[in-house]
C-alpha cells in the first residue's frame, strides 16, 4: 500500500526521469541479449554449414569378407572399390594410356542420395562415368570406349556415358581408420565410376585384396545447434557403430571431422564474443548503474525524510526497490524488444533465435544491477542530517584512488600482456587425439585488466581535472562562459562526483567503439590478406598455355605476374619451390613484411634481385640444417637436376604456398616447368575477371579469384564470419557512446534544474545559462574524445596482439575504419549538442515553474 502510493506519486510526478533511466536499462539489457543471439545463431550456422559441406557423412569400410552389417543409421548405400592397373583409350589411331586407378560400383540412386559427391560435366549419369582428370589423360568424351587393365583378370571394355568431377575425392578415397596424425593419402589420379551391376559383372571375380566395400551413410541431420554438442553426438554414434560392428568395419567419420573443425571455429567466435562483447556488456551495465544513480541526491533526501519519520531499513529499501524495479522492468522489457528487433534486422526473424536463455539472463542481470545500485545509499550509515545535504563535501578520495589501484591495474595489464603475447604463445590449443579443445583464458586478463585500469585511471584524471585542475578548466571555459567561467567551474567542481562518473563512462563508451571498430577493421583486412595469400592474387590462373601477354589483354586485368612452381628435395624432404621475378612481384601481389622475419618484403626481394642463386627457406629448414646467411644449399629437383643455391633469408608465408615448409628462389635461375599467373585487376570485381579468363582459356585452365577463396578459406579465426557480431557491436557502440554522453548529461542537468532556475531569477540570460551547460558538455565531449580515443587505441593494439596467434598471417599494422570513427564522432557530437540544446531550452523556461514544481 505504502509502496503503491509511493510509486504512483513517482510515476505521475517524475515520468521523464524514470523514462530516461528505463532507456538506460533497456540499452544494458539489449546489448548482451543481442550478443547472445549472435553467438547462438553463429554456432547454429556453423553446424548447419559443416553438415551441408559434407557430401557423405560416414564411410563405413567393411573388412574383407565381412558380412553386410545389419543395421546402419540413416540412409546408406553400398559402394564397391576395385583397383585397376591402368586405363587405355584409342583415339584416331592413337593409343593413350594412364597409370593405375580405381573403379567404383555405385547404386543407381547414389547421385541423388549423395548429390555432393560427384558433379556431371558432360554426358549423362546413366552409365559408366570417367573422372575429369582421367578423361583428359585419355582424351575421352561421352561415347568413348575405355579399356580397363583388371589385375589378375583379362582386360575389359566399357563405353563411357559421362565425364564427372569428384569434388570430395580426398574424403572419398581416404584410408578409413588411419590415425589422425597420418599424412593424408592423395586420391588416385584415375577413376572410373560404374553402375553397381556392371561393377559386379567386371570385378566379382577379382582377387579379394584388390576389392573393398564401403557403406556410405547419410545421417539424420537433426543435430544440436552447438557444433561442440553436435560433434560429440556424431562421433559418439560413430564409435557406437564401430563397437556394434565388432571389428568387421571401420567408420570414416567425415561429418565428425567437419564438425570438429566447426567446433574450433565456434570456440573462436566465442572468444571474440568474450573479447569484444563482454566489455560492451559491462559498459552497458555501468551505464545502468550510473543512470539509476543519477537520482541519488533526491533519493537520499527522501530517504532522510523517511528515516526521520522512523522508517526502517526494510521500508525504504522496499520503496527504493519498487522504484528501481518499475524502471528496471520497463527497461528490461524494452531492452528485450530492442534485442528481438535487432535479431529481426540481422537474421530476418523476430525472437531470440535459440538465445532465450541469454535474453533472460541479460534482463535479470540488468535488473539486478539496477537494484544493486540503489542499495548502498539505502543501506548507508550516514546520519539523517548528512543525507539531507545536496552537495557532497567529503574531501577524502576513495581508497582505490589513494592506493593507486588504477595504476597497479594498468601495470599488471602490461605485464600479463608481455607474457601472453610472446612467441610460441597459443590462445587455443587443439590437443591431438583429444575430443576437448582448450582455450587459454589467461590471455583475457591482459585486456580485462587494461579495461579496468584505464576506466579507473580516467576517473582519477577527471577527478583531478575538476579538483586541483580547476584553473585549467576555468581557462578552458573562458571562451564559452566569458565572465561566468569562475562560477561555472565552481559549480562543476562541487558536482565532481557525478560529473566525473559521466565523463568516465562517456570515455569508456568511446574507447569501446574505437577498439571494436579498429579490431574489426584489422580483422577484415587480415581476412582479405589471408584470402589473397591462399589465392595468390586477385585472380590466379594455372595449367594454362596462354602467354603472359594474352592474359594481360583480358579486360579488367591490370598486371600479370608469372610464378613458377616445382618441387625439390631438401635432404629427404620434398618441398614446394617457387620461382619469382623480383623486379615485378611486388606490384602484382601483396607481400606483408611479416612474411619475412628479419627484413621487410622489399629488402628480401631486393636480395633475390641482387644474387640470382639466392634462396629463401622456412624457419624449420634453417633449424634442421643449422643454416647461416650465405650458406650453400644443394637442391635436388624433381627432374633429377641438382642445383646449388645460397641461403638468403627466411620466409614464413607466400602467396599460394602451403602452410608448412617451402622454398622461394629466382624464376630465371630455377627454370621450373609449371607457371602460375598472379593477376591483379584494375578495380574490376575479381570474380568477373575470373569468369572472363575462364571463357578465354577454356576448361583445361584452373582460374580462381580472391572473393570466392575468401568464402572458403579453411578453419582459422578469420574464417569466422564476424559480420553479425560486428554489426551488433558497432551499432551498440554508437548507441552507448550517444547514451553515455547525451543521456547522462541530460539526467545531470535535470538534477540541477533548481540551480539554473535560480540563476535565471538572478537575471541570467539564456546565453549565460548556456555557459554552464555548454562548458559541461564540452568538458564531457573533450574528455570522452581524448581519453576514450587513447584508451580505445591502446585496447585495439592489445587485442590484435593478443589474438595475433589466431590471425593468420599476423597484421603489419592496425586498420583504421575512418568512416565508422567519423560516425561515432558525428553521433557523439549530435548527442552532446542535443543534450545541451534540450538543457538550455529547459533552463530557459520561466524559472518559477521549475522552482515551484521541483
Partner 1 sequence: MLEAEELYRFYRSGEEETRALRGISLKVAPGEVVAISGPSGSGKSTLLSCVAGLDDPDGGIVRIAGQRISHRPEADKARLRARLVGVLFQSGNLIEHLTLAQNVELAQRVGGRRDPAHRAELLDRLGLSARAGAWPSRLSGGEAARAGLAVALANRPSLLVADEPTGELDRRSEGPVLDLIRDQARSHTAVVIASHSPAVRRMADRVVQLRDGRVA
Partner 2 sequence: MTEVVRCRDVARTYGRGVEAVVAVHGITCALRPGDQVAITGPSGSGKTTLLHLLAGLDRPTAGTIGWPALDDRPRGRIGVIFQGPSLLAPLDAAENVALPLVIAGRPDGEARREALRALNTVGVAALAAKLPQQLSGGQAQRVAVARVLAGSPSLIIADEPTGQLDSALALHVVELLTDVAGRLGAALVVATHDPLVAELLPLRWEMRDGALAC
Which parts of this chain interact with partner 2 (CB under 8 A)? 388-391, 393, 483-484, 486-487, 490-491, 494-495, 752, 754-755, 758-765, 768, 846-848, 851
Least separation, in Å, of the C-beta of 1 and partner 1? 7
- Between 322 and 829, whose beta carbon lies closer to partner 1? 322
Element (H, E) at 415: helix 405-421
CA gap 468, 486 in Å, rounded = 14
- Between 378 and 744, whose beta carbon lies closer to partner 1? 378
- The piece of 23-31, 33-41, 375-383, 630-638 that touches partner 1 (CB under 8 A) is 375-383
Q: Cα–Cα–Cα angle for 196, 200, 203, nearest 5°?
A: 130
Q: What are phi and psi of 43, to 5 degrees?
A: -65, -40
Selected binder of partner 1 within 12, 183, 623, 626 (CB under 8 A): 12
- Between 13 and 200, whose beta carbon lies closer to partner 1? 13
Say which residues have a Cβ less than 8 Å from residue 709's Cβ, sequence separation at least 6: 531, 534, 535
> Is residue 131 within 8 Å of 222, Cβ to Cβ?
no
315 binds partner 1 (CB under 8 A): yes
Least separation, in Å, of the C-beta of 18 and partner 1? 11
Query: Could you tell me which of 276, 283, 117, 103 has the C-alpha nearest to residue 196?
Result: 103
Please give the grid coordinates belonging to residue 22.
528505463
- Between 389 and 813, whose beta carbon lies closer to partner 2? 389
CA gap 796, 447 in Å, rounded = 9
Least separation, in Å, of the C-beta of 485 and partner 2? 8
> Is residue 652 within 8 Å of 594, Cβ to Cβ?
yes
Selected binder of partner 1 within 341, 384, 472, 629 (CB under 8 A): 384
Q: Which strands, in side-by-side order, build the sheet including 101-106?
A: 119-123, 162-165, 129-131, 190-195, 101-106, 75-84, 211-218, 58-62, 249-253
> Is residue 141 within 8 Å of 149, Cβ to Cβ?
no
Least separation, in Å, of the C-beta of 475 and partner 1? 25
Tell me 100's DSSP state. -
Query: Could you tell me which of 480, 499, 388 has the C-alpha nearest to residue 740?
Result: 499
- Between 494 and 590, whose beta carbon lies closer to partner 1? 494
Least separation, in Å, of the C-beta of 846 and partner 2? 7
CA gap 680, 182 in Å, rounded = 38
Selected binder of partner 1 within 265, 302, 538, 808 (CB under 8 A): 302
Selected binder of partner 1 within 309, 396, 402, 549 (CB under 8 A): 309
CA gap 593, 529 in Å, rounded = 12
* Residue 308 binding partner per list partner 1, partner 2, none, with a CB distance cut-off of 5 to 8 Å that depends on partner kind: partner 1
- Between 391 and 399, whose beta carbon lies closer to partner 2? 391
- Between 1 and 92, whose beta carbon lies closer to partner 1? 1
* Residue 391 binding partner per list partner 2, partner 1, none, with a CB distance cut-off of 5 to 8 Å that depends on partner kind: partner 2
2 binds partner 1 (CB under 8 A): yes
- Between 239 and 767, whose beta carbon lies closer to partner 2? 767
- Between 494 and 694, whose beta carbon lies closer to partner 2? 494
Selected binder of partner 1 within 169, 274, 311, 401 (CB under 8 A): 311
* Residue 764 binding partner per list partner 2, partner 1, none, with a CB distance cut-off of 5 to 8 Å that depends on partner kind: partner 2
- The piece of 33-41, 162-170, 385-393, 586-594 that touches partner 1 (CB under 8 A) is 385-393
- Between 763 and 819, whose beta carbon lies closer to partner 2? 763
* Residue 311 binding partner per list partner 2, partner 1, none, with a CB distance cut-off of 5 to 8 Å that depends on partner kind: partner 1
* Residue 309 binding partner per list partner 1, partner 2, none, with a CB distance cut-off of 5 to 8 Å that depends on partner kind: partner 1
* Residue 602 binding partner per list partner 1, partner 2, none, with a CB distance cut-off of 5 to 8 Å that depends on partner kind: none
Least separation, in Å, of the C-beta of 755 and partner 2? 5
The 3-state secondary structure of 638-682, one letter per residue: CCCCEEEEEEEEECCCCCCCCCCCEEEEEHHHHCCCEEEEEEEEC
Helix, strand counts (H, E) of the chain: 33, 24
Please give the grid coordinates belonging to residue 763.
537575471
396 binds partner 1 (CB under 8 A): no
Query: Could you tell me which of 750, 756, 754 has the C-alpha nearest to residue 771?
Result: 756
Query: Could you tell me which of 519, 409, 516 has the C-alpha nearest to residue 459?
Result: 409
- Between 720 and 769, whose beta carbon lies closer to partner 2? 769
- Between 8 and 767, whose beta carbon lies closer to partner 2? 767
* Residue 765 binding partner per list partner 1, partner 2, none, with a CB distance cut-off of 5 to 8 Å that depends on partner kind: partner 2
Selected binder of partner 1 within 221, 388, 590, 636 (CB under 8 A): 388
Least separation, in Å, of the C-beta of 397 and partner 2? 19
Longest alpha-carbon distance in the chain: 115
* Residue 671 binding partner per list partner 2, partner 1, none, with a CB distance cut-off of 5 to 8 Å that depends on partner kind: none
CA gap 518, 534 in Å, rounded = 24
CA gap 588, 562 in Å, rounded = 9
> Is residue 57 within 8 Å of 74, Cβ to Cβ?
yes
Least separation, in Å, of the C-beta of 407 and partner 1? 28
- Between 480 and 585, whose beta carbon lies closer to partner 2? 480
* Residue 307 binding partner per list partner 2, partner 1, none, with a CB distance cut-off of 5 to 8 Å that depends on partner kind: partner 1
Least separation, in Å, of the C-beta of 386 and partner 1? 8
Residues near partner 1 (CB under 8 A), total:
33
User: At what angle are helices 278-293 and 445-466 packed, to 10 degrees?
Assistant: 30
- Reported as half-sphere exposure (CB side, CA atoms, 13 A), residue 847 has a value of 15
Least separation, in Å, of the C-beta of 312 and partner 2? 26
CA gap 362, 332 in Å, rounded = 8
Least separation, in Å, of the C-beta of 312 and partner 1? 6
**Which is it for strands 86-91 and 119-123: parallel, antiparallel or unpaired?**
unpaired
398 binds partner 1 (CB under 8 A): no
Say which residues have a Cβ less than 8 Å from residue 374's Cβ, sequence separation at least 6: 292, 293, 299, 320, 321, 323, 324
- Between 142 and 295, whose beta carbon lies closer to partner 1? 295
Least separation, in Å, of the C-beta of 466 and partner 2? 12
- Between 85 and 390, whose beta carbon lies closer to partner 2? 390
CA gap 427, 441 in Å, rounded = 8
468 binds partner 1 (CB under 8 A): no
Residue 166's SS3 state is: coil
Say which residues have a Cβ less than 8 Å from residue 85's Cβ, sequence separation at least 6: 100, 149, 150, 151
> Is residue 370 within 8 Å of 292, Cβ to Cβ?
yes
Element (H, E) at 95: strand 94-97
Selected binder of partner 1 within 70, 154, 310, 700 (CB under 8 A): 310
Please give the grid coordinates belonging to residue 175.
584410408
Least separation, in Å, of the C-beta of 847 and partner 2? 6
* Residue 313 binding partner per list partner 1, partner 2, none, with a CB distance cut-off of 5 to 8 Å that depends on partner kind: partner 1
Please give the grid coordinates belonging to residue 53.
559441406
Q: What are phi and psi of 805, to 5 degrees?
A: -55, -30
Least separation, in Å, of the C-beta of 291 and partner 2? 21
Least separation, in Å, of the C-beta of 800 and partner 1? 49
Tell me 606's DSSP state. H
Please give the grid coordinates belonging to residue 695.
571463357
Selected binder of partner 1 within 139, 159, 313, 389 (CB under 8 A): 313
* Residue 688 binding partner per list partner 1, partner 2, none, with a CB distance cut-off of 5 to 8 Å that depends on partner kind: none
Where along the sequence are the contacts to partner 1 (CB under 8 A)?
1-2, 5-6, 9-10, 12-14, 301-302, 305-313, 315, 381-386, 388, 393, 395, 852-854
Amino acid at each position: 500500500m505504502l509502496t503503491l502510493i509511493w510509486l504512483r506519486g513517482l510515476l505521475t510526478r517524475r515520468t521523464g526521469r524514470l523514462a530516461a533511466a528505463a532507456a538506460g536499462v533497456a540499452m544494458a539489457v539489449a546489448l548482451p541479449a543481442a550478443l547472445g543471439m549472435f553467438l547462438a545463431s553463429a554456432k547454429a550456422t556453423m553446424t548447419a554449414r559443416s553438415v551441408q559441406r559434407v557430401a557423405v557423412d560416414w564411410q563405413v569400410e567393411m573388412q574383407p569378407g565381412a558380412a553386410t552389417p545389419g543395421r546402419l543409421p540413416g540412409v546408406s548405400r553400398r559402394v564397391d572399390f576395385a583397383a585397376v592397373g591402368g586405363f587405355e583409350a584409342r583415339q584416331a589411331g592413337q593409343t593413350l594410356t594412364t597409370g593405375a586407378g580405381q573403379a567404383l560400383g555405385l547404386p543407381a540412386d547414389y547421385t541423388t542420395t549423395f548429390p555432393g559427391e560427384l558433379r556431371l560435366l558432360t554426358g549423362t549419369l546413366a552409365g559408366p562415368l570417367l573422372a575429369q582428370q582421367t578423361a583428359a589423360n585419355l582424351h575421352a568424351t561421352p561415347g568413348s570406349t575405355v579399356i580397363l587393365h583388371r589385375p589378375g583378370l583379362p582386360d575389359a571394355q566399357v563405353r563411357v556415358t559421362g565425364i564427372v568431377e569428384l569434388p570430395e575425392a580426398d574424403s572419398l578415397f581416404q584410408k578409413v581408420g588411419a590415425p589422425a596424425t597420418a599424412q593424408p593419402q592423395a586420391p588416385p589420379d584415375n577413376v572410373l565410376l560404374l553402375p553397381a551391376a556392371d561393377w559386379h559383372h567386371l570385378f566379382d571375380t577379382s582377387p579379394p585384396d584388390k576389392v573393398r566395400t564401403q557403406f556410405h551413410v547419410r545421417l539424420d541431420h537433426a543435430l544440436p545447434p552447438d557444433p561442440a554438442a553436435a560433434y560429440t553426438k556424431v562421433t559418439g554414434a560413430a564409435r557406437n557403430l564401430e563397437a556394434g560392428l565388432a571389428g568387421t568395419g571401420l567408420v570414416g567419420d567425415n561429418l565428425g571431422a567437419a564438425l570438429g573443425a566447426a567446433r574450433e571455429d565456434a570456440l573462436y567466435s566465442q572468444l571474440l564474443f568474450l573479447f569484444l562483447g563482454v566489455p560492451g556488456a559491462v559498459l552497458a551495465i555501468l551505464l545502468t548503474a550510473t543512470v539509476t544513480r543519477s537520482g541519488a541526491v533526491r533519493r537520499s533526501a527522501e530517504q532522510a525524510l523517511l528515516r526521520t519519520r522512523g522508517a526502517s531499513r526494510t521500508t525504504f529499501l522496499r520503496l527504493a526497490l519498487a522504484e528501481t524495479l518499475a524502471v528496471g522492468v520497463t527497461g528490461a522489457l524494452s531492452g528485450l524488444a530492442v534485442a528481438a528487433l535487432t535479431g529481426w534486422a540481422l537474421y530476418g526473424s523476430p525472437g531470440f533465435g535459440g538465445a532465450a536463455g541469454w535474453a533472460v539472463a541479460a534482463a535479470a542481470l540488468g535488473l539486478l544491477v539496477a537494484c544493486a545500485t540503489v542499495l548502498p545509499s539505502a543501506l548507508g550509515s550516514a546520519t539523517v542530517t548528512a543525507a539531507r545535504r545536496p552537495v557532497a563535501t567529503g574531501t577524502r578520495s576513495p581508497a582505490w584512488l589513494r592506493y593507486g589501484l588504477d595504476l597497479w591495474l594498468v601495470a599488471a595489464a602490461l605485464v600479463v600482456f608481455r607474457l601472453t603475447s610472446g612467441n610460441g604463445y597459443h590462445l587455443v590449443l587443439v590437443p591431438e587425439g583429444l575430443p576437448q579443445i582448450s582455450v587459454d583464458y589467461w590471455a583475457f586478463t591482459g585486456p580485462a585488466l587494461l579495461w579496468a585500469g584505464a576506466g579507473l585511471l580516467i576517473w582519477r584524471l577527471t577527478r583531478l581535472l575538476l579538483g586541483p585542475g580547476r584553473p585549467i578548466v576555468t581557462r578552458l571555459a573562458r571562451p564559452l562562459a566569458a565572465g561566468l567561467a569562475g562560477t561555472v567551474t565552481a559549480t562543476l567542481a562541487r558536482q565532481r562526483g557525478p560529473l566525473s562518473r559521466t565523463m568516465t563512462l562517456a570515455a569508456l563508451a568511446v574507447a569501446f567503439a574505437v577498439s571494436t571498430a579498429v579490431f574489426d577493421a584489422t580483422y577484415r583486412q587480415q581476412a582479405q590478406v589471408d584470402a589473397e595469400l591462399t589465392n595468390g592474387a586477385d585472380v590466379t590462373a594455372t595449367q594454362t598455355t596462354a602467354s603472359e601477354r594474352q592474359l594481360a589483354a583480358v579486360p579488367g586485368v591490370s598486371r600479370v605476374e608469372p610464378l613458377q612452381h616445382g618441387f625439390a628435395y631438401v635432404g629427404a624432404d620434398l618441398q614446394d619451390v617457387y620461382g619469382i621475378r623480383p623486379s615485378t612481384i611486388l606490384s602484382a601481389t601483396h607481400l606483408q613484411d611479416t612474411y619475412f622475419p628479419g627484413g621487410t618484403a622489399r629488402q628480401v626481394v631486393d636480395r633475390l634481385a641482387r644474387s640470382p642463386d639466392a634462396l629463401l627457406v622456412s624457419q624449420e629448414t634453417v633449424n634442421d640444417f643449422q643454416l647461416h646467411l650465405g650458406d650453400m644449399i644443394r637442391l635436388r629437383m624433381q627432374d633429377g637436376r641438382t642445383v646449388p643455391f645460397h641461403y638468403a633469408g627466411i620466409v614464413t608465408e607466400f602467396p599460394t604456398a602451403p602452410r608448412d615448409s617451402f622454398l622461394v628462389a629466382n624464376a630465371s635461375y630455377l627454370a621450373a616447368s609449371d607457371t602460375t599467373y598472379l593477376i591483379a585487376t584494375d578495380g574490376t570485381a575479381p570474380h568477373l575477371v575470373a569468369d572472363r579468363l575462364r571463357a578465354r582459356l577454356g576448361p583445361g585452365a584452373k582460374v580462381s579469384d580472391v572473393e570466392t577463396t575468401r568464402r572458403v578459406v579453411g578453419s582459422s579465426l578469420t574464417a569466422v564470419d564476424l559480420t553479425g557480431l560486428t554489426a551488433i557491436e558497432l551499432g551498440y557502440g554508437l548507441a552507448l557512446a550517444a547514451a553515455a554522453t547525451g543521456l547522462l548529461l541530460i539526467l545531470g542537468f535535470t538534477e540541477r534544474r533548481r540551480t539554473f532556475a535560480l540563476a535565471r531569477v538572478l537575471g541570467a540570460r539564456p546565453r549565460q545559462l548556456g555557459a554552464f551547460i555548454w562548458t559541461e558538455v564540452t568538458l564531457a565531449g573533450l574528455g570522452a574524445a581524448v581519453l576514450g580515443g587513447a584508451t580505445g587505441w591502446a585496447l585495439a593494439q592489445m587485442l590484435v596482439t593478443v589474438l595475433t596467434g589466431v590471425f593468420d598471417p599476423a597484421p603489419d599494422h592496425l586498420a583504421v575504419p575512418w568512416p565508422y570513427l567519423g560516425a561515432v564522432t558525428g553521433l557523439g557530437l549530435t548527442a552532446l549538442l542535443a543534450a545541451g540544446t534540450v538543457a538550455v531550452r529547459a533552463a530557459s523556461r520561466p524559472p518559477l515553474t521549475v522552482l515551484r514544481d521541483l
